[in-house]
Amino acid sequence: MDDSSQTARRVVMGFGDAANLPDDDELPTESMPLNMGPSHPAMHGTVRMVLEVEGEKIRSADVQIGFLHRCFEKEAENATWTQIFPYTDRLNYVSPMLCNVGYALAVEKLLDIDRKIPARAQFIRVIVGEISRITDHLTCLAASAMELAAFTVFFYLMKAREWLWELLEEVSGARLTHSYVRIGGVVADLTDDFCPKLRDVLRRCRAAIADADKLLTGNRIFRDRMDGIAIITRDDAIGWGLTGPVGRSAGLDYDVRKDHPYLVYDRFDFDVPVGSKGDNFDRYAVRLEEMRQSMRILEQAMDLLPAGPVLINDARVALPPKREVYNTIESMIAHFKLIMDGIVVPPGEIYSFTEGGNGELGFYIVSDGTGQPWKCRVRPPCFAHTAVLNKVLPGLFIADVVPTFGMINMIGGECDR
Partner 1 sequence: MAKIILDRLAQQFVAGEILETGSQHGNEWARVAPAHWRAVAQFLRDDAVAALNMFIDLTCVDRLGRTPRFDVVMHLYSVDKKHRVRLLAGLPEDDSSIDSLVALWPGANWFEREAFDLYGVHFVGHPDLRRILMYPEFVGHPLRKDFPKEGRQPLLRRLPGSVD
Applying CB under 8 A, the residues found at the interface with partner 1 are 64-66, 69, 71, 73-74, 78, 109-110, 112, 238-242, 252, 254, 259-260, 348-351, 360, 362, 364, 366, 374-375, 377, 379, 383-384, 386-388, 391, 416-417
- Compare residues 129 and 362 and give the one whose CB is closer to partner 1: 362
- For the bound state, the minimum distance from the C-beta of residue 13 to partner 1, rounded and expressed in Å, comes to 37
How many C-beta atoms surround the C-beta of residue 7 within 10 A?
Answer: 12
- For the bound state, the minimum distance from the C-beta of residue 363 to partner 1, rounded and expressed in Å, comes to 10
- For the bound state, the minimum distance from the C-beta of residue 349 to partner 1, rounded and expressed in Å, comes to 6
Gyration radius of the chain's alpha carbons:
24
- Compare residues 113 and 167 and give the one whose CB is closer to partner 1: 113
Query: Regarding beta strands 360-367 and 373-379, do their DSSP bridges make them parallel or antiparallel, or are they unpaired?
Result: antiparallel
Cβ burial, residue 283 (10 Å; 0-12/13-18/19+): buried
- Compare residues 55 and 241 and give the one whose CB is closer to partner 1: 241
Q: Is 43 left (phi over 0), alpha (psi -120 to 50) or beta?
A: beta
Q: Report the distance separating Cα 94 and Cα 91, nearest Å.
A: 9
- Compare residues 74 and 175 and give the one whose CB is closer to partner 1: 74
- For the bound state, the minimum distance from the C-beta of residue 353 to partner 1, rounded and expressed in Å, comes to 8
- Compare residues 203 and 375 and give the one whose CB is closer to partner 1: 375
Residue 242 phi/psi, 5° resolution? -90, 130
Q: Report the distance separating Cα 56 and Cα 59, nearest Å.
A: 10
- For the bound state, the minimum distance from the C-beta of residue 36 to partner 1, rounded and expressed in Å, comes to 18
Q: Report the distance separating Cα 336 and Cα 319, nearest Å.
A: 9
How many C-beta atoms surround the C-beta of residue 166 within 10 A?
Answer: 12
Residue 49 phi/psi, 5° resolution? -120, 120
What angle separates helix 398-408 from helix 280-304, to the nearest 10 degrees? Answer: 20
- Compare residues 59 and 377 and give the one whose CB is closer to partner 1: 377
Q: 3-state DSSP helix/strand/coil percent for the chain, to nearest 5?
A: 50, 10, 40
Q: DSSP secondary structure string, 18-47?
A: GGGSPPTTTS---EEEEEE-SS-TT-SS--
- Compare residues 116 and 375 and give the one whose CB is closer to partner 1: 375
Query: Regarding beta strands 348-355 and 31-36, do their DSSP bridges make them parallel or antiparallel, or are they unpaired?
Result: unpaired
- For the bound state, the minimum distance from the C-beta of residue 413 to partner 1, rounded and expressed in Å, comes to 13
Are 53 and 32 contacting, i.e. CB atoms less than 8 angstroms apart?
A: yes
- For the bound state, the minimum distance from the C-beta of residue 237 to partner 1, rounded and expressed in Å, comes to 8
Query: Does the N-terminal peptide bond of residue 38 adopt cis geometry, omega within 30 degrees of 0?
Result: yes
- For the bound state, the minimum distance from the C-beta of residue 159 to partner 1, rounded and expressed in Å, comes to 35
Beta bridge partners of 127: none
- For the bound state, the minimum distance from the C-beta of residue 417 to partner 1, rounded and expressed in Å, comes to 8
- Compare residues 361 and 407 and give the one whose CB is closer to partner 1: 361
- Compare residues 310 and 388 and give the one whose CB is closer to partner 1: 388
